[in-house]
Amino acid sequence: MIKNITLVMLISCSLTAINAQVGIGTTEPDPSSELHIESNDSGLLIPRLTTTQRDAILSPANGLLIFNTDTDEIQINTNTTITPIWEAFTLTTTTTSTPGQSVKYSNTDISTNINNNTAINLPVCGVEEWNDNTTLYNVDVTSNSITINETGRYRVIVNASIIVANNGPQRANPEIYIALDDVQVGTVSSHGYMRRAGGHNEASVNFTEVIEITTGQALSLKVLRVGNVGVVNLRAASTTNLYIEKIL
């Protein structure tokens, strides 16, 4: 008799455990759930299968869930076990941009002296050539800066055409570099001295950088004097330009 009572109690406990809700990371699982997981430092990792491995599952249940490593997507069987149909979840991206989107500006200013002891922003944001994503690239034409609104890796191409007037300084040599929030990043580029002799009044500064940019950082081109004192200008309208492209 005692054995029978013990057996009944064991079966009862087993059934209770089977029917009970499961809470992981919580002692109070939601009443509507069979499995309730709580965490603030990790996620849920579901089975990861190739397409071949997925198709080898015997009689996959309707609603069976996997992550397909060949297509990098979560898939669910929306049909029967006999003729499964694997459909991908439609996910809403948190990004507002895609690689390849770019912005390009050219100068209209040909009067600002760019040969100063203190660095100024190169006056390049005069004319918008194009802007593929105005949410990603927020241009301030007054400060000649472009705020990047998504973290990523960006290619920056700079072409600057400069000139010294006939009565300007000899051996002028402005340098240009990229700045994020007014802090230099990457290389410093210059043409070398413009001698203002034998018609050598003009020069070009050209360089390309790939840099990491964090959401909200403002990109500008800084220019300052490293040669002799005197006025140096951008050569002509649309001869200086700034190109930025998101690559990753």
Q: How many CB atoms lie within 10 A of CB 204?
A: 12
Cross-strand pairs, 88: 75
Q: 165 pLDDT band (50/70/90 cuts)?
A: confident
**Residues 165-174, mean pLDDT to the nearest whole number:** 80
Q: pTM surpassing 0.85?
A: no
pLDDT at res. 12: 45
pLDDT tens readout for residues 83-116: 999 988 776 666 788 999 999 999 999 999 999 9
CA–CA separation, 224 and 103 (whole Å): 24
Q: Does pLDDT of 164 surpass 70?
A: yes
Distance of CA 111 to the CA centre of its chain: 35
Amino acid at 169: P
27 class by beta-carbon count within 10 Å (0-12 exposed, 13-18 middle, 19+ buried): exposed
pLDDT at res. 93: 65
Please name the residue ranges forming H helices in the chain.
Answer: 2-19, 51-55
